[in-house]
């Protein structure tokens, strides 16, 4: 594992170099002082996807969801719970497939919820359907920093 990671700030998208030994110390952005690794999942759009996912040196797990989807409503609290627990080892993000149809189409999302793990723009893993917290942690473990 490298000694530091370059991560974009979810607020201002400025790049921040964070020592891997300090990931648990709630690092803040050098430009705007926002938390670089917030406890809640990031909301991804076509405007911030490049900075927060494609250029991310930390793996990012993305939950593709929709507000009308029953299984997505079940998965949401589980995803948020695991994000609060593992958010310094894997970045957590959500894409609303209704609002971000181009992003959903780019990844060929056919059913929701679908989770993707990506690192520097490359897909590492994909899983569709609801997972319990323990299953989600186990599925993410090989990809965490």
CATH of the domain at 78: 3.40.30.10
Q: Can you read off the two tokens belonging to residue 107?
A: 């990844």
27 in a structural domain: no
pLDDT tens across the length of the chain (145 residues): 569 999 999 999 999 999 999 999 999 999 999 999 999 999 999 999 999 999 999 999 999 999 999 999 999 999 999 999 999 999 999 999 999 999 999 999 999 999 999 999 999 999 999 999 999 999 999 998 7
Active-site residue identified among 9, 12, 32, 69: 69
How many angstroms separate the CA atoms of 49 and 71, rounded? Answer: 24
Instruction: Show the domain range for 52.
Output: 39-143
**What's the pTM value of the predicted model, to 2 decimals?**
0.94
Q: Based on the residue annotation, tell me whether 9 is a catalytic residue of this protein.
A: no
84 in a structural domain: yes
Domains of the chain: total: 1
Residue-wise pLDDT tens digits, 18-59:
999 999 999 999 999 999 999 999 999 999 999 999 999 999
Q: Based on the residue annotation, tell me whether 29 is a catalytic residue of this protein.
A: no
How many angstroms separate the CA atoms of 58 and 137, rounded? Answer: 16
7 in a structural domain: no
């Amino acid at each position: 594992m490298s000694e530091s990671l370059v991560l974009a700030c979810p607020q201002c998208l400025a790049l921040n170099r964070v020592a891997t030994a300090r990931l648990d110390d709630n690092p803040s952005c050098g430009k705007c002082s926002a938390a670089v690794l917030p406890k809640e999942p990031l909301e991804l759009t076509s405007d911030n996807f490049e900075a927060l996912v494609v250029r991310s040196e930390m793996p990012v797990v993305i939950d593709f969801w929709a507000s009308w989807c029953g299984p997505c409503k079940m998965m949401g609290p589980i995803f948020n719970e695991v994000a609060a627990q593992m958010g310094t080892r894997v970045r957590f993000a959500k894409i609303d497939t209704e609002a971000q149809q181009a992003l959903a189409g780019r990844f060929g999302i056919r059913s929701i919820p679908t989770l993707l793990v990506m690192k520097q723009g490359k897909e590492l893993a994909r899983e569709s359907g609801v997972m319990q917290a323990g299953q989600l942690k186990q599925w993410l473990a090989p990809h965490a920093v």
